Amino acid sequence: MASYRTSMQIVADVLNATQEQGQDGIKTTSLLTKANLSHSRLSKFLENLTGAGLIYKIEFDGKNTFVITSKGRQYLDSYVNFSSIAESFGLEL
């Protein structure tokens, strides 16, 4: 049976991929691959994440690079902690 990711899991995947690249940021193409999303779905998530202040977009030469903010790191840490607590109780997010 196929296991689908929730929106929260996808957000965590996007933030995690962004965080792994550090302050250099991650380009859209790399993010598509690491987050395993189509371009249209990724665009919607990126719009929401930048709007919430969890990542910011750097536009240069017509190309976009995304960098995680301190608020985004805080969100990701909280998500990881909550996820492990839920898992310890046998719950899936």
Query: pLDDT > 90: what percent of the chain?
Result: 88
Task: Say whether 18 sits in a helix, a strand or coil.
Answer: helix
Q: What domains appear along the chain, each with residue ranges and CATH number?
A: 7-88 (1.10.10.10)
Q: Quick one: 42 exposed, middle or buried, by C-beta within 10 A (0-12, 13-18, 19+)?
A: middle
> Using CA atoms, how far apart are residues 32 and 44, in angstroms rounded to an integer?
12
Q: 67: pLDDT confidence band, cut at 50, 70 and 90?
A: very high
What pLDDT is attached to residue 2? 57
Question: pLDDT, tens digit, for every residue of 21-59?
Answer: 999 999 999 999 999 999 999 999 999 999 999 999 999
Q: What is the pLDDT of residue 64?
A: 95
Instruction: Give Cβ neighbours of residue 15 (< 8 Å, ≥ 6 apart).
Output: 49, 54, 55, 68, 72, 73, 75, 76, 79
pTM of the model: 0.91
